[in-house]
Homo-oligomer: A and B are copies of this chain.
Amino acid sequence: MYTNALLTDLYQLTMMQGLFFEGKHNQPCVFDRYYRTNPFKGGYTVVAGLEHLIDYVQNMHFSDDDIYYLKSTNLFKESFLDYLKDMHFTGDIYAMPEGTVAFPQEVLLRIHTTKDESLLLETAMSMIMNHESLIATKARRVRTVAGNDTLMEFGLRRAQGMSAGVYGARSAMIGGFNGTSNVLSGAKFGMPILGTMAHSWIMSFPSELEAFHAYIRQYPNNLILLADTYNTLKQGVPDAITVFQEMKDAGTLPKKFGIRLDSGDLAYLSKEAKKMFDAAGFPDVIISASNDLDEFLISELKLQGCAINSWGVGTHLITAEDSPSLGGVFKLVGQYDGDVFVPKIKMSDNAEKISNPGIKNVYRIYDRESKKMKADIIALEGEKFPTIKNLQLVSDKTPWRSRVIYANSFDVCPMLQPIFQKGKLVYHKPTLAAICDYADEQIQTLWPEYLRLVNPEEMWVQRSSKLSKLRNKILQEESAKFM
């Protein structure tokens, strides 16, 4: 069996071998994971993927089959392959917990370990957190427009592969969804699973009414009837009313009952259906809808007064349709030459690709009274921002603007938590429910302006002056080489 140790780019392994024979593979170094722009042209990113990453790191080892395959490529030497056989993670990882709201350039994860372990983990680590943070962010955008409606993840059949479906459903929960149709996600993560019937159920019976009757014989308590198979308003809704009335008369109507619409104009059909249900004495009917929904369509349908109070979101969520990748990167920010830590930057012809050097944390500034977030400072680990002094904010993106946050009006919270120490997991993994609660709290710290779908206010994120000085110094040294 091949393991996920092979889930990497070839160059990681060729570089590892190169460093091994150059005697540099054991060099301790520090890498940061961060991203450069928010997905969906939005104002934030919801961090997710840490639990998956912890699993990956804990289980990362090469099997005999892996080694046998690598040998067959003729790219690797025996002594290096012997070395790989015993490799496992021995370093430290610090990360933002799942559900944290984050912003461009911020350190989401920092890893202190040997260079070869860093290389080996980079690809899978980036992939896992890029993917899951992306879907959690998309889900949160949907939640911000859906109010307290029920949100269901329905995307498995359009997901980009199995893991996209399974981990995507979990990420959707972190982004504020109520459940998924994906049974494997339910099993793996203890998530609520939801669903009733498809058109093929209706078509398995001589008539829609018979199909509804058959369904309630089997599931008298799971009563969302699919109403659009033949003709929503002429048949589906009247048939549903017939069934609900029969159950009401028999005293068996459950508290939650309703219909699902999967085609046609959802605003019009839901409003008309609601009128029919109201007239028939069923004002508490659930009207759920699916069919290529996303945050923009839900928002518009609501503006048009639709009567939908439960949404099944599939393709657009599970693929992050309008922005299907998060450009998270993993960059060397320093290494130890002997005992001396040497901060590093990645130079580039593209200005936005130049990284922040050194061992850093993100310090979040909250307004003490409103509990809302005011700014993030990317600073060297251990820098202090005493709350008893005024805090001067000067963004180096917009150095002509500055802000003072007055003493005793704010709190400071470092955002990275220790996850692994010397290869051992030291993080107490929260339950999914706890992660979802934390994610909700995190979103509450943002004013609505930052949550806007289009053209949101940009969060104030700046380097500390110490970090700026360090970065400029290294930039000058590097660029001096080409004068």
A residues with a Cβ closer than 8 A to B are 2, 4, 6-15, 17-19, 21-22, 24, 27, 31, 65-66, 69-70, 73, 75, 115, 118-119, 122-124, 126-128, 130-131, 134-135, 154, 156-168, 181-184, 186-188, 193-201, 203-204, 214-215, 217-219, 222, 228-232, 234-235, 263-265, 269, 315, 319-321, 324-328, 330-332, 335, 344, 346-350, 353, 478, 481-482
Bound Cα distance from A265 to B187, whole angstroms = 48
Bound Cα distance from A156 to B150, whole angstroms = 34
Residue pair B119, A200 in contact (C-beta under 8 Å): yes
Kindly identify which residue among B124, B156, B200, B234 contacts A8, using a CB–CB cutoff of 8 Å.
B156
Kindly identify which residue among B73, B131, B204, B230 contacts A24, using a CB–CB cutoff of 8 Å.
B204
Residue pair A18, B201 in contact (C-beta under 8 Å): yes
Residue pair A165, B7 in contact (C-beta under 8 Å): yes
Residue pair A228, B168 in contact (C-beta under 8 Å): no
Kindly identify which residue among B65, B163, B219 contacts A14, using a CB–CB cutoff of 8 Å.
B219
In the complex, what residues of B have CB within 8 A of residue A327's CB?
158, 315
Shortest Cβ distance from residue A432 to the other chain B in the assembled complex, whole angstroms: 16
Bound Cα distance from A459 to B4, whole angstroms = 42
Given the interface contacts A156-B8, A195-B9, does A161 sit within 8 Å of B127 by beta carbon?
Answer: yes
Kindly identify which residue among B73, B158, B482 contacts A127, using a CB–CB cutoff of 8 Å.
B158
Pull 11 A–B residue pairs with CB atoms less than 8 Å apart, ordered by A: A6-B187, A7-B156, A27-B204, A69-B187, A126-B157, A130-B157, A203-B346, A230-B478, A231-B482, A235-B481, A319-B325
In the complex, what residues of B have CB within 8 A of residue A160's CB?
131, 134-135, 159-161, 163-164, 168, 319-320, 324-325
Bound Cα distance from A230 to B354, whole angstroms = 10
Shortest Cβ distance from residue A85 to the other chain B in the assembled complex, whole angstroms: 16
Closest to A329 in B: B157
In the complex, what residues of B have CB within 8 A of residue A348's CB?
228, 263-264
Bound Cα distance from A481 to B209, whole angstroms = 13
Shortest Cβ distance from residue A456 to the other chain B in the assembled complex, whole angstroms: 22
Given the interface contacts A9-B195, A163-B163, does A2 sit within 8 Å of B157 by beta carbon?
Answer: no
In the complex, what residues of B have CB within 8 A of residue A181's CB?
9-11
Bound Cα distance from A14 to B156, whole angstroms = 17
Given the interface contacts A4-B184, A349-B228, does A161 sit within 8 Å of B164 by beta carbon?
Answer: yes
Beyond the given pairs A7-B184, A319-B324, 7 more chain A to chain B contacts, judged by CB atoms under 8 angstroms and listed by A's residue number, are A6-B187, A13-B183, A65-B187, A118-B200, A135-B160, A158-B327, A161-B162
Kindly identify which residue among B11, B156, B194, B214 contacts A197, using a CB–CB cutoff of 8 Å.
B11
Residue pair A263, B349 in contact (C-beta under 8 Å): yes
Residue pair B11, A196 in contact (C-beta under 8 Å): yes
In the complex, what residues of B have CB within 8 A of residue A188's CB?
2
Bound Cα distance from A164 to B328, whole angstroms = 17
Given the interface contacts A8-B156, A324-B324, does A73 sit within 8 Å of B165 by beta carbon?
Answer: no
Closest to A199 in B: B346
Given the interface contacts A17-B218, A18-B219, A193-B73, does A231 sit within 8 Å of B349 by beta carbon?
Answer: yes
Shortest Cβ distance from residue A14 to the other chain B in the assembled complex, whole angstroms: 6
